Structure 1
Amino acid sequence: MAPNQNLAAVLYGPNDLRLEERPIEQPAFDEVLLEVDTCGICGTDVHFLKEGGFGAQMLIKPIVLGHESSGIVRKLGSKVTHLKVGDRVAIEPAAGCRTCDLCKVGKYNVCLNGKHCPTQKHDGNCSNYFTHYADCCFKLPDNVTMEEGAMLEPLAVAIYAGRKVDIRLGNKVLIFGAGPIGLMCLVAAKAMGATRTVVLDLARVQHRLDLAKKLGATGVIAINKDDKEDDLVSKIQKILGGPADRVLECTGSQPGMRISIRSTRNAGKICLVGLGNDDVSLPMVDAVSREIDITTAMRYNHDFPAAVEIVASGYVNLKPLISHHFDLKDVHEAFRVASQSEGNKIMVHLIPRDTNNKNKFAN
C-alpha cells in the first residue's frame, strides 16, 4: 500500500464488490481520523452483498462495507481530549444525531438520523482510513488484540440482547442460531450467569455447533429439514432440564421464532436479535396466554464499555471464534467464505496482521 492510500471495499450492487481508492477525509472538531487495522465480516455485510441490502436498508448508492473494526488514531479533531495519536481503539459504528427525541432518551441505537455504518446513507469502515466520532472510539488495553477489538462490536450486540431479556444467575437459556452473533450470545449469556445453555442450528453448519460446544454450551441440536417442532421442543427441554427461562433468537427465521415461543416457560423472555424473514406466522395465542415477554434488540446501547471490560479482564475469550484471516487485497475471497458459511468470524486485515498487537503471540 502506498503512503496515505485509502483502499476501500465498495459495494455497487448485488455481488458487485470492488476494491477502489477513496479520498481520506479530515476529522471534524469532535472526530478522529483512524487507520483501520482489522475488520470482521458481519451477516448484514453479507446481506448487502448478496441481496443489495435488507429490510428498508436497500442499496441506493455505492457504499463501503464493514463495521466490526478496530484501528489506530492518526489525527485528532480540535476538541478531542480523551484520545491521542497512536491509541489503539475499538470502533462503535452506530452513533445517534445527538438532538432528536430518541437520542435524548438514550435510544441512539435506533435514531432515524444517526450515523450507522454501513447503511444505505453511510459508508462502513472496511477501508484503510475512516473518520468517526471520537466518543464512539474505545481505547483498547494493551492485553487486548486488534482482532478482539474488532469483535467487540458483535459482542456488544450480544450483551445488549442479554440485558434486554435480563439474563440472571442460574437461568436456562436457549440460543437459536450458531452463527457469529449466536455464538457471541452464548458467550455473553454464560458471562451473565446462565448455567444451562442449548444452541440450535441447521445440520449443514455442524462445524459451528461443534464450536458452540467447545465454547461451553450444555448441549447443541442439529436441525434437519424433516424435524418436527414437537420433537425439537422436547430435545431442548431435555437438555435444559425444563423450559427455557430466556431465549435469544438469532436467525430471524419463522421456525426459530416459533420454536422459541414453544420452548419458553410461562412468563419467560425472548429477544429477537436476528434479521430474517419479513413476515412470519407465529403461535401468538400460546405466547399471550402464557404471558411470554417478546422483545427486540437493534445494535447495542452503550454496551461497548462492558464488552471491553469482560474481554480485557479475561472473563470471556473471543479468540476461538475467529476462523479465517485475509489481507485486504483478498477481500473478495473473504466475503465468499463468509457468504458460504464456511467459517465463523472472518477477519480482514487492512494492516499486516499483528503490527499493532502488543503481544505478538496473543493470537
Structure 2
Amino acid sequence: MAPSATRTSSESALSSTHIKSQNVSVFTNPEHELYIKNGPVPAPGPGECLIHVRATGICGSDIHFWKSGHIGDMIVVGENRLGHESAGVVVAVGEGVNRFKLGDRVALECGIPCMEATCYYCRTGKYNACPDVVFFSTPPYHGTLARYHVHPQEWLHKLPDTLSFEEGSLLEPLSVALAGIDRSMLRLGDPIVICGAGPIGLVTLLATHAAGANPIVITDLDENRLATAKKLIPRVNTVKIVVGETPKDSAARIKEALGFEAKIVFECTGVESSVQSAIYSCTFGGLVFVIGCGKDFQNMPFSYMSAREVDLKFQYRYKDTYSKAIGLVAAGLLDLKPLVTHRYTLEQGEDAFKTASDPKAKAIKVQILDE
C-alpha cells in the first residue's frame, strides 16, 4: 500500500496537467468527529506555491485537537483540517514566485509569522512568538493533511534528492527536538535523560546522540518503544517506568541507569509524574527542559527545586531549524527512516488516526501518503 521511502521516478518534475480534480482532506470538528472530505483544488496566489502533499505525519497535537477539541486556548470551533508535518512537490506557482519551479520537492514549515517591521518578535528573530502567526492545523487555520495545499514560497524548504518525502515530513518533529536542544545549551559529554520514547523523544535521542551527549538514558512505559530506542542508538540505557511507582523511586532507578545525576533532562511526555521524576533525576544546578505538551496546571516539588537550583525551561515550537535539520539528515548524521512504522493513503485517513491513537497498535510515527 505504501510507497517506498526512497525517491522514485514518479517524484520527477511535474506540470499542472498532473493535478487531480479532487482535493481529498482529513478534518475534525467540535463534535470530535474525524472524516474524509473532498473539496476544490486551491489556486496559488501571488508568492504562493500549490503543493501536492506526498507525506504527512500524524502529530500528537492532531490527535489532541480531534479527541479533546483544544490545546490550551487553541480551540476547535468549526471544521478544521488537520496536519502540519508535511512534504511534497510543487505542481503550480503563483505570480512572483522565483524560488521554486514545477517539480521541486519541498518540506513545509507550517508556522507563518507576520514578518512585519512593527512586530518585535519577528524583528528580533523570535518569529515563533509572533502574535499573528498562522500555524497550519491550529484552529482556526486549516492544516496540510490534504492532497493539495497552498503555501507561501518563503516557508518552503527544498529537499535534496537523497531525502524521501517521508523523511521530509519528519523534519517537523526533528525541528522541535533541535529547538529544545539549542535552548538547553547541551554540551559535549553532558549526561542526559530523555523522558518518553515517543516520536519526539526518539528524535531527541537521535539528535542528542549526534550532539555528543554521554551517557544517555531514555524512559517510557512501553517496552516496545524502549526496544526501538535501543535499536536506533545501541549505547542508550533504557528504564521502563512502572505504573504507580513514586516519582522519587522512578528517579532513583533513572540515576542508577545513568550512573550520574543528570545535567539535563529532556521531558518529552508532559505527564505530571514524569516531570516530577525528571526534577528528582537532576544534579544540583541541573535543567529540566520540557518539550512535551501536558495539562494546563501541574504540581511540582517547588522547595526541592529551589534547594537544588533545578531550572525548569520550556519552548514554543521552533525557529530557524529546517535548514539545519535537512543538513543533518542529508549528511547521514541522523537516520529518521525507522521512525515511520505505519503508512496509510489519504482515503484511509480515519484508519490512520485510529492507529496513531491506539497504544495497542505499537505505532511510533504514522504517516499518510499520497501518490
Quickly name the TM-score band, shorter chain normalised: over 0.9
- Supply the AA of the counterpart residue of 2:270: G
Structure 2 equivalent of residue 322 of structure 1: 340
Once structures 1 and 2 are overlaid, which stretch shifts more, 16-25 or 254-263? 16-25
Q: How does 1:115-194 map to 2 (within 5 A)?
A: 115-194=134-213
- Assess if the C-alpha contact under 8 Å between 2:81 and 2:137 holds in 1: yes
Q: Which residue, out of 315, 319, 325, partners 1:297?
A: 315
Once structures 1 and 2 are overlaid, which stretch shifts more, 276-285 or 73-82? 73-82
Once structures 1 and 2 are overlaid, which stretch shifts more, 244-253 or 71-80? 71-80
Give aligned-pair identity as a percent. 35
- Assess if the C-alpha contact under 8 Å between 1:41 and 1:338 holds in 2: yes
Separation in structure 1 between the aligned mates of residue 249 and residue 331 of structure 2, nearest angstrom = 40
Deviation at residue 83 of structure 1 after TM alignment = 1.4
Deviation at residue 344 of structure 1 after TM alignment = 0.5
Gaps of at least 5 residues in structure 1 are 352-363
Structure 2 equivalent of residue 225 of structure 1: 243
Separation in structure 2 between the aligned mates of residue 159 and residue 109 of structure 1, nearest angstrom = 14
- Assess if the C-alpha contact under 8 Å between 1:91 and 1:136 holds in 2: yes
Deviation at residue 282 of structure 1 after TM alignment = 0.4
Q: Is 2:299 the counterpart of 1:275? A: no
Separation in structure 1 between the aligned mates of residue 45 and residue 121 of structure 2, nearest angstrom = 24
Structure 1 equivalent of residue 252 of structure 2: 234
Structure 2 equivalent of residue 108 of structure 1: 127
Separation in structure 2 between the aligned mates of residue 133 and residue 269 of structure 1, nearest angstrom = 37
Structure 1 equivalent of residue 365 of structure 2: 345
Separation in structure 2 between the aligned mates of residue 332 and residue 143 of structure 1, nearest angstrom = 31
Separation in structure 2 between the aligned mates of residue 247 and residue 28 of structure 1, nearest angstrom = 44
Separation in structure 1 between the aligned mates of residue 32 and residue 232 of structure 2, nearest angstrom = 33
TM-score (normalised: structure 1): 0.93
- Supply the AA of the counterpart residue of 2:281: S
Structure 1 equivalent of residue 88 of structure 2: 71
Structure 2 equivalent of residue 32 of structure 1: 49
Could you give the per-residue CA deviations for residues 234-274 of structure 1, whole angstroms, max 9, x where no partner exists? 21111211111111111111111111111111222221111
Structure 1 equivalent of residue 265 of structure 2: 247
Separation in structure 2 between the aligned mates of residue 94 and residue 27 of structure 1, nearest angstrom = 18
Deviation at residue 25 of structure 1 after TM alignment = 2.2
Deviation at residue 14 of structure 1 after TM alignment = 4.6
Deviation at residue 134 of structure 1 after TM alignment = 0.9
Question: How many residues matched?
Answer: 349
- Supply the AA of the counterpart residue of 1:160: A
- Assess if the C-alpha contact under 8 Å between 1:273 and 1:296 holds in 2: yes
Separation in structure 2 between the aligned mates of residue 147 and residue 171 of structure 1, nearest angstrom = 31
Separation in structure 1 between the aligned mates of residue 263 and residue 120 of structure 2, nearest angstrom = 33
3-state DSSP class of the match of 1:231?
Answer: helix
Q: Which residue, out of 257, 264, 270, partners 2:275?
A: 257
Separation in structure 1 between the aligned mates of residue 239 and residue 212 of structure 2, nearest angstrom = 22
3-state DSSP class of the match of 1:122?
Answer: coil
Deviation at residue 340 of structure 1 after TM alignment = 0.9
Separation in structure 1 between the aligned mates of residue 330 and residue 84 of structure 2, nearest angstrom = 21
Structure 2 equivalent of residue 94 of structure 1: 111
Deviation at residue 2 of structure 1 after TM alignment = 8.4
3-state DSSP class of the match of 2:34?
Answer: strand
Could you give the per-residue CA deviations for residues 193-238 of structure 1, whole angstroms, max 9, x where no partner exists? 1121111111xx2211110111115211111222222321121111
Structure 1 equivalent of residue 29 of structure 2: 12
In the superposition, relative to structure 1, how do residues 2 and 13 fare at CA in structure 2: closer, same or farther (>3 Å)?
A: farther
- Assess if the C-alpha contact under 8 Å between 2:21 and 2:40 holds in 1: no
Q: Is 2:300 the counterpart of 1:287? A: no
Structure 1 equivalent of residue 15 of structure 2: none
- Assess if the C-alpha contact under 8 Å between 2:264 and 2:288 holds in 1: yes
Separation in structure 1 between the aligned mates of residue 150 and residue 19 of structure 2, nearest angstrom = 19
Separation in structure 2 between the aligned mates of residue 52 and residue 307 of structure 1, nearest angstrom = 31
Taking only aligned residues, the RMSD between alpha carbons, in angstroms, comes to 1.5
Separation in structure 2 between the aligned mates of residue 104 and residue 23 of structure 1, nearest angstrom = 36
Separation in structure 1 between the aligned mates of residue 100 and residue 210 of structure 2, nearest angstrom = 29
- Supply the AA of the counterpart residue of 2:163: V
- Assess if the C-alpha contact under 8 Å between 2:239 and 2:257 holds in 1: no
Q: Which runs of 4+ in 1 moved over 3 A?
A: none
- Supply the AA of the counterpart residue of 2:285: A
Separation in structure 1 between the aligned mates of residue 63 and residue 123 of structure 2, nearest angstrom = 32
Q: Which residue, out of 307, 312, 317, partners 2:330?
A: 312
